[in-house]
Homo-oligomer: A and B are copies of this chain.
């Protein structure tokens, strides 16, 4: 494990944590830059990383070209945002994918650190360390009263967004998500789809993140998010227990059949695979299924995405070819290893 991929431990409901800091470099206008200006900023950041002995050599730099499978793969792996993939720009990314600096998003820099499980505090510490190392060579716009200046006022102050990826399939199935979103909003948190604003809640995955950034310390933001996440975890666990009590055979049937599909399918779409992997995560948490870790399931969930499969194959694939490769990968990585533990 490199220094940048943080392991918080998969709780069964929290898949991953993420922190991003928005920063803007002194001396440049806000908003979209010319390709030359963007390259200039990227060069400066790349030099700053190279000049920091603590992290030099642990990063790579890539230009982001819209429309390439490699670009889409980085979105699928949450290394860059859909917005950066669309605009184009640069990314400086740690070799393990745990930390990335996007150049050319809404703000000049978006510094992001991800970890598995519930670890927003650890991600925050790592992101702050990285930001400080860069700021050492690349001065950022900072106002004594307002804090870090950002393109959008909602990010003003700390420039921080803390988020956790929650797996809430049973709250979703119970039709409770509208209530959950409303309640989280009143706590100053947003609940969005797995790929952020405007994305759908595929496989029951939701991104919970803070909405207020001004006038609150970074640590308080992280603590607040953990509180809200804990409440949602409790609600999801309650929903799972309720389903089990209401119709245990029906639940087992659903979870075991999902394992069956992953064990046997020779062709599978992304949507069906997501649904099965979601069921397998529930099965693992409820000890109906075993033999693989939740981390392995999450890794497979990223690996089986269309662009990631295409990049791995090294050539363009028809949808049918992709569905076959996806089924083969899921069988090998998950299906063949899955054990059915419960016999109700």
Contacts and interface: CB of A to CB of B under 8 A. Distances in A.
Contact of A260 (B250, B252, B260, B320): B260
Interface stretch (A172-180, A262-270, A305-313): A262-270
Nearest to A258: B264
Given A259-B264, A264-B256, A249 B324 contact: yes
B261 A265 contact: no
The quantity of this chain's copies bound in the complex is 2
Contacts of A344: 266
A47 interface: no
Contact of A256 (B250, B265, B320): B265
A257 B249 contact: no
A320 B267 CA distance: 30
A229 interface: no
A253 interface: yes
Contact of A266 (B256, B263, B327): B256
A261 B266 contact: no
A22 to B, nearest CB: 46
A257 B264 contact: yes
A340 interface: yes
A253 B327 contact: yes
Interface in A321-344: 324, 327, 340, 344
Contacts of A256: 264-266
A332 to B, nearest CB: 11
A277 to B, nearest CB: 15
Nearest to A267: B253
A249 B340 contact: no
Contact of A253 (B259, B260, B263, B266): B266
B263 A249 contact: no
A266 B327 CA distance: 23
A182 to B, nearest CB: 35
Interface string A133-163: 0000000000000000000000000000000
Contacts of A324: 249
B267 A249 contact: yes
A278 to B, nearest CB: 16
Contacts of A252: 266
19 contacts: A249-B266, A249-B267, A249-B320, A249-B324, A250-B266, A253-B265, A253-B266, A253-B267, A256-B264, A256-B265, A257-B264, A257-B266, A259-B264, A260-B260, A260-B261, A260-B263, A260-B264, A260-B265, A264-B340
Interface of A: 249-250, 252-253, 256-257, 259-261, 263-267, 320, 324, 327, 340, 344
Given A253-B267, A257-B266, A263-B263, 17 more contacts: A249-B267, A249-B320, A249-B324, A250-B267, A253-B266, A253-B327, A256-B264, A256-B265, A256-B266, A257-B261, A257-B264, A257-B265, A259-B264, A260-B260, A260-B261, A260-B263, A260-B265
| Shortest 9 CB-CB contacts between residues of A and residues of B | A260-B264, A260-B260, A253-B266, A256-B264, A253-B267, A252-B266, A257-B264, A249-B266, A249-B324
